Each structure stands twice: as C-alpha cells, then as structure tokens.
Amino acid sequence: MEKKTIGILAVASAAALLFGGVYLLTKDDIAQKKAEEELQPFMPSAEVQNALDYSEEDLNTEETTVTTTTTAGIEAGFTVETVNTEVTTATQTVLADDVIEGLKEQAQELQETYPDAIGWIYIPDTNINYPIMQGEDNDFYLTHGTDGRSLKCGCIELDFRCENRFQNNFNILYGHNMKNGIMFANVCRFKERSYYDSHPYGWVYTSDAVYRLDFFSVAVTDWHDEIYNGFRSLDEWTPHLKEISRIYEEVELTEQDKLVLLSTCSYEFDNARTVLTGKLVEMESDVNE
C-alpha cells in the first residue's frame, strides 16, 4: 500500500512539474506577445520600412578594395585568414523629410509613454525592430519589459554609462540571444559572411535625429573584454577591435564619429559575446537638396 501511495505521489509530482513548466512557458509567451502588441504603435510603419529598406541600387556608392581579416581568437580554435574583397560603401545621407520627422515624432511619443525609452533600433530583413531602453544599471532591462514588468526576454538597452542621445564615441547596446530568434539573436548570424554582406546597415533614431548605422565589424570576444571600455580614444580602441574581429572592413574614423556596438551572448567558449559594430551616419532632409 505504501509503495502504491509513493508511486501515485511521484506521478502526481511529475505531472505538477510538467504542468508548471508548460504554465511558465505559456506565461512567458503571453507576456512577450502582449509586450509586442503594446509597442506596435511605435514601430516604423510598412511604408516607412520600405523607405528605410533601400537597396544598393538606391544608394550613391563607391567601391574600394580593402583587406578583411577574419579571426575569432586563439582560445576559440580559429585560424586567421586574410582576404581581399570588394566593399560597397554607402554614401547617401538623405531621407524624405516626412520620414525623418515621422520617426522622430514616434520616438518622442515612445519616450512620453515609457520614460526610460531613448529611441528605436531597426535592421532591415531581421527580427531586430525594438525600442532602446536605458536604466540606472545594465541589469534591470535584461529581465524587464518597457513597462517595468518582469519579462524573460527583456529589452534592448543602452549601457547606463553612455549619454542617452548616442553622443559618445562608443555606444553599447545589450540584448539577449533568444532561442526563438527575437531580440539580438540575429546579431550572431552576422558572423556568416554572406549574411553580413546582405545586411550592410541598420537604423537608430531618437526624438532628435535619425541615423543610418553602417556595419564594419563582427567580433567574438569575452564578456569583460576591453572593447567594452568606452573611455578610450578611437586610435587606442580600433586596433584591438580588428584583432578580435571575424569580419572587419576598413572604414574612415575620426574622433568625432559615433559608433554603436550590438552585444549579445554566443557560445564559442564560456562567456563568449558576439559584437556587431557600426558607424552612425546622421540623415539629412531631402528638402535641403
């Protein structure tokens, strides 16, 4: 009788654990879906996305031959390969005035609704289309939504040490590498050369400005690497970025340039991080032409 009772209790416990796991998973999914629905009014519309998704044919471009170094570091077991490649550099810095003003107004409305929201990031043909939050530390928005409620996937957040209008030389964004492909999961795909080549830029906008983000580096490094030290000059910082990059394209940088680093977890080694870096290019209104 005692064995039968223990067996029944074991089955009941297993069922409870299974149900609890399903409940938690469903609860997370529901919370995530609700958060996405609440952000719909602030997302760039399909029409605006079409304006932002311009192709290489729509750009004024120039082709140059550069040396690209591919490496992931000795500790990851990768060899260093140097190749010559043709790089197309975007030079167009003009968007329609109504697109620029519309995006800035959306960013302003977003901030009025969620005071810790400082802007938006959108990368064409990826799942990256999210508000950018900034808290009092780098922990809160990794486990909370824009409304401050607990959310497993968290938010994309700007390092709390950075100025909130992307005026630092180095502006670091953090986001989870979620198994379902949301948040910064697509950042890891940039390690594939074909994916990187087909996604050369993204967009960052605030209530003050709209920027194209021109990517030039994909690096794999440790979570406490000096790449996260934003208190260095570009001349000091860039050589190390080249050293840890799997993909690096030569780009003209000055001390006035603003860079954005998209950082997420990856699994090449313990505490590995994939970091996608781009240069901000402020968009001008076409009414000035």
Mean pLDDT of 69-95: 49
- pTM to 2 decimal places: 0.80
Residues 5 and 54 in one domain: no
Report which DSSP code applies to 52.
Answer: H
Q: pLDDT tens digits for 222-255?
A: 999 999 988 888 999 999 999 999 999 999 999 9
Q: Provide the pLDDT confidence category of residue 93 given band limits of 50, 70 and 90.
A: confident
Tell me, what's the pLDDT at 142? 95
Tell me, what's the pLDDT at 56? 52
Tell me, what's the pLDDT at 112? 97
b/e 239-258 (16+ beta carbons within 10 angstroms → b) = ebbeebbbbbbebeeeeeeb
CA–centroid distance for 246 within its chain: 17
Beta bridge pairs of residue 204: 121, 211
Identify residue 208 by its one-letter amino acid code.
D
Residues 34 and 52 in one domain: no
Residue 25 lies in domain: 1-42
Higher pLDDT, 86 or 260: 260
Residue 56 sits in a domain whose CATH number is: 2.40.260.10
Cβ pair 232, 262 in contact under 8 A? no
> Residue 81 pLDDT more than 60?
no
Residues 33 and 96 in one domain: no
Mean pLDDT of 71-96: 51
Residues 62 and 195 in one domain: yes
Residues 96 and 28 in one domain: no
Domain count, the chain: 2
Q: pLDDT tens digits for 5-31?
A: 434 334 343 433 334 433 445 667 788
> Residue 33 pLDDT more than 50?
yes
CB-based contacts of 209, cutoff 8 Å, min separation 6: 104, 165, 282, 283
Residues 67 and 7 in one domain: no
> Residue 82 pLDDT more than 60?
no
Query: CA-to-CA distance for 154 and 142, rounded, in angstroms?
Result: 4
CA-to-CA dists, residue 275 to 106, 153, 207, 221, 272, angstroms: 28, 19, 26, 8, 10
Residues 194 and 254 in one domain: yes
Tell me, what's the pLDDT at 91? 58
Tell me, what's the pLDDT at 285? 81
> Residue 80 pLDDT more than 80?
no
CB-based contacts of 119, cutoff 8 Å, min separation 6: 107, 110, 131, 132, 166, 204, 205, 206, 207
Residues 32 and 54 in one domain: no
Residues 92 and 20 in one domain: no
Q: Which two tokens stand for residue 101?
A: 């003003």
Tell me, what's the pLDDT at 193? 97
